[in-house]
Amino acid sequence: MKESQDRQKSYADRRRKDLEFEVGDMVYLKTVTYKGKDRSSKNAKLSPRYMGPYKILERIGKVAYKLELPSSMAQFHNVFHVSLLRKCIRNQDNVVPEPPSDLRENLTVEGRPVQIIGRKTKPEGRKNIKMIQVVWDCDGEEETTWEPEARMKAEFPKWFDKLTEDSGRKTRR
């Protein structure tokens, strides 16, 4: 048993790197982008993954750091785990703009539907599920996904009602 544990530990240690920062270092803070209601972004290859840089004020324990956050992020707790930080090599070259206005406490941004660009039915077992192709606005970045129509109506009823009224006006002309 011990031999097996040691072997697994050696595999894990090959990929592990211990990060340590000094007080006064500049670091980037990791963000997570969400689309829709509490859903992680699938197509986020080119979206920014870090914001900052922010200055480290103090080290708390072995793996936590206190950061100097801007006033727009005052509602956030300013202590972060080392896994959410990345060292800033150049201080002012890669400055990401201020955090988005709808940034939540768990560092996520909720996407907003912009328009429907396609419809289809997807067979699942004995049922056919109506799907719509939605263009999302995730803080200025546009992404497209297929979503169940029923879920979209439940989560965004006002937006969906407005959309059907607009399409009704077009058909009356």
- Render 57-80 in DSSP notation, one character per residue: EEEETTTEEEEE--GGGTTS-SEE
User: Hey, is 21 helix, strand or coil?
Assistant: coil
CATH match for 17-109 among 2.30.30, 1.10.1660, 1.10.3470, 1.10.150: 2.30.30
- Within 10 A of 79 (CB to CB), how many other CB atoms are there? 13
Token pair 């048993």: residue:
1
Give yes or no for residue 150 having a pLDDT over 60: yes
Higher pLDDT, 140 or 41: 140
Q: What is the pLDDT of residue 173?
A: 41
Candidate from 49-53, 65-69, 89-93, 109-113 with smallest mean pLDDT: 89-93
Q: What percent of the chain has pLDDT over 90?
A: 10
Give yes or no for residue 37 having a pLDDT over 70: no
